[in-house]
């Protein structure tokens, strides 16, 4: 018998396996937070590859010119998606991490406040930007990243996540800005 085709695995089956590998840790990083730990999933090569493959397929729908990935776990998914699509990657970082002139914005988190920055010349004018992060909670981080993209001259057309915590309502404020959202796993 000469080379049989590999079995076709549906997106639903891939997502079920990815979901099963995500560890739940209560009260981290502080009491009342139910943390979804992706490290077991990304530590498993085939599951990590499946997550990236599904993200790539979902990313194509947005027809992005560039990926903007949010520090730090967004980098884990944004980089391979950008490579697979043959487009660039722009990092959005915490203060003091980018060496050239930056735009910055302060924003609220599920459990505090923070600041993000982007290089002022990171995005071409009117570029279609897909924002990628690992988690959508309240939407504060991605809304801040979208504001940075706009300040840099880009057009944030979509936001893509591995996980969405639906009860925290983060999708609504993002979509209110005209940014389409998608997540592989919704809890």
pTM: 0.93
Note the CATH architecture for domain 63-186.
3-Layer(aba) Sandwich (3.40)
In whole angstroms, give the CA distance from residue 53 to residue 84.
9
Q: What residues act catalytically? A: 73, 110
The pLDDT tens digits of the residues spanning 21-47 come to 999 999 998 898 889 999 999 999 999
User: What pLDDT, on a 0 to 100 scale, did the predictor assign at position 6?
Assistant: 65
User: What pLDDT, on a 0 to 100 scale, did the predictor assign at position 173?
Assistant: 96
> Longest Cα pair distance anywhere in the chain, in angstroms?
61
Please report the beta strands in the chain, taking only residues with DSSP state E, as ranges in sequence order. 23-26, 34-37, 66-70, 88-92, 102-109, 112-119, 128-136, 155-164, 180-186
Please report the beta strands in 10-154, taking only residues with DSSP state E, as ranges in sequence order. 23-26, 34-37, 66-70, 88-92, 102-109, 112-119, 128-136
**Which of the residues in the chain have pLDDT under 50?**
none
Q: Which helix (H) or strand (E) holds 40?
A: helix 39-42
Domain boundaries, the chain: 63-186
User: What pLDDT, on a 0 to 100 scale, did the predictor assign at position 110?
Assistant: 62
């Amino acid at each position: 018998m000469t080379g049989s085709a590999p079995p076709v695995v549906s997106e639903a089956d891939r997502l079920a396996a990815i979901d099963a590998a995500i560890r739940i840790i209560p009260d981290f990083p502080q009491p009342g937070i139910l943390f979804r730990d992706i490290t077991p999933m990304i530590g498993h090569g085939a599951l990590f590859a499946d997550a990236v493959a599904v993200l790539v397929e979902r990313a194509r729908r947005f027809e992005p010119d560039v990926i903007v990935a949010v520090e730090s776990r967004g980098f884990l998914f944004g980089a391979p998606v950008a490579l697979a699509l043959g487009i660039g990657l722009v990092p959005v970082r915490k203060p003091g991490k980018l060496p050239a002139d930056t735009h910055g914005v302060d924003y609220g988190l599920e459990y505090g406040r923070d600041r993000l920055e982007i290089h002022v010349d990171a995005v071409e004018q009117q570029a279609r930007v897909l924002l990628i992060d690992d988690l959508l909670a309240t939407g504060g981080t991605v809304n801040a990243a979208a504001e940075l993209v706009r300040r840099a001259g880009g057009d944030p057309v979509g936001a893509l996540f591995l996980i969405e915590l639906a009860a925290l309502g983060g999708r609504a404020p993002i979509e209110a800005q005209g940014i389409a959202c998608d997540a592989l796993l919704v809890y």
